[in-house]
Copies of this chain bind each other. A is one copy, B any other.
Amino acid sequence: MINFENMDQAQLVNTLAELTEKYKEYAAMGLALDMSRGKPGGGQLCTSDPMLDVLRSDSDMNTENGFDARNYGLFDGIPECKRLFADILETTPDNVIVLGNSSLSIMFDFVSQCMTHGAGGEPWISQGKIKFACPVPGYDRHFSILEYFGIEMVNVPMNSGGPDMDMLEELVKDPSVKGMICVPKYSNPTGITFSDDAVRRIAAMKPAAKDFRIIWDNAYVLHDLGEESDRLLEILSECEKNGSGDMVFEVASSSKMTYPGAGVAALASSKNNLDFIRKRLFVQTIGHDKVNQLRHARFFGGIDGLKAHMKLQAEHLAPRFQIVFDKLRESFGENGIASWFEPRGGYFVNLEVPENCAKRAISLCKAAGVTLTGVGAAFPYGKDPGDSNIRIAPTYPKTDELSAAMDVLCLCVKIAYIEKNSKQKLLP
């Protein structure tokens, strides 16, 4: 491994020339590789295909409480699916509402609800400038929702055990801070799981805003890569211990358990909040897709069946993460250029490169046919303050493609680093 840090200018320039030659070889290969989104790969999707055989024309279509899943009704979900999500989220079915196929839509709609009808107080839209605390780097689509509704986002750095709690606790003293949005387990993109201490401190917060809400996107709740897995403290009961269960608005979905294009999503919250949400939901729909809810409930049979299914998913995911770890160790293990965290689950690896190098590396990758998540995507307003963050999404490509893509990425990071330190540029 080359140690870039001790190189003098001449060595840097020589190395840049060598790396540029390699880069040109890749660029000439006509690659079209995509590490931009946390999408399951084709083989991984196939593990869920037997679900399509669960409900057929001659199946019993009644839910366990005797409703015909094909017809109108049961607007807050079928009981077997509520129980499944309650088990997933380690809560009780009466804290759960099961909805359509997208937890993103649920979060969007919740923010929309708070804007026009409030969260137990005045509508947010009538309260002037309001803000959300956003652990960063975070999930770009969360930030898009907040931006769409004109909610100002305040960055809170992610530490190794979750968001910077001192900063967060300070922030919520501002009554215009109405909430936070986060992925608490195998966080997108850092892969970090909030520590027990962080969860307890979050649950113990007494925000100045009485209508403060935590959007707890538990997207990777059961998405372990191997036997060793992270453990996240259950937020709702922690908040309830502090008498603030109403702060929690948790979501999860089966998008990355079965099909991203045809899953089932759910929310969990306090009784108060659910009552408020049900009033809206009753106006909003006569019911979500209960046939798909029934299909999921019968396919898994229960939480044990689901956990077994997640192991099949991990068989597809683990080797891909291993490739990413191996390539990163190989390229950056000792030269200190880049740092990363090796998560035990989730869908991403977060790569920190030297300041002002991320944009250049991503752009070099793009020119060589390797697509990464857009520059700054993991930050509110797309602004990565250090221009140093690269989100790697290893799940979608085939393994050989992923290897090639990682080679290109590592190469481009090195080039960007040397360009910056040598003030030389050999590539457009």
Task: Please give the residue numbers on chain A whose beta carbons come within 8 Å of chain B beta carbons, in ascending order.
Answer: 37, 39-40, 42, 45, 48-53, 55-59, 61, 68-74, 100-102, 104-105, 108-109, 112, 115-116, 125, 141, 144-145, 148-149, 255, 259-262, 280, 282-292
Contacts and interface: CB of A to CB of B under 8 A. Distances in A.
Nearest to A58: B49
Contacts of A70: 45, 48, 259-262
A392 to B, nearest CB: 17
A-B pairs, top 7 by smallest CB distance, nearest first, are: A262-B291, A49-B57, A70-B259, A261-B290, A72-B260, A108-B284, A101-B289
Contacts of A48: 70
Nearest to A55: B52
A289 B57 contact: no
Contacts of A289: 100-101, 261-262, 289, 292
Nearest to A112: B112
B102 A288 contact: yes
Nearest to A147: B283
B116 A149 contact: yes
Given A260-B287, A261-B289, A71 B45 contact: yes
A317 to B, nearest CB: 15
A59 B292 CA distance: 17
A104 to B, nearest CB: 6
Contacts of A112: 112, 116
Given A52-B59, A70-B259, A71-B260, 20 more contacts: A37-B72, A68-B261, A71-B259, A101-B288, A101-B289, A104-B284, A105-B285, A108-B284, A112-B112, A116-B116, A125-B125, A144-B282, A148-B280, A260-B287, A261-B287, A261-B290, A261-B291, A262-B289, A262-B290, A289-B292
A265 to B, nearest CB: 10
Contacts of A50: 57
A80 to B, nearest CB: 14
A290 B45 CA distance: 14
Contacts of A45: 61, 68, 70-71
B261 A145 contact: no
Interface centre among A42, A49, A50, A51 (most CB of B within 10 A): A49
A72 B101 CA distance: 11
Given A52-B57, A56-B52, A292-B289, A283 B72 contact: no
Contact of A286 (B116, B260, B290): B260
Contacts of A259: 70-71, 291
A246 to B, nearest CB: 21
A291 B263 CA distance: 9
A28 to B, nearest CB: 27
Contacts of A72: 37, 39, 255, 260-261
Nearest to A40: B71
Given A261-B72, A261-B290, A292-B292, A283 B141 contact: yes
Contacts of A280: 148
B52 A148 contact: no
Nearest to A48: B70
A58 B50 CA distance: 9
Contacts of A291: 52, 259, 261-262
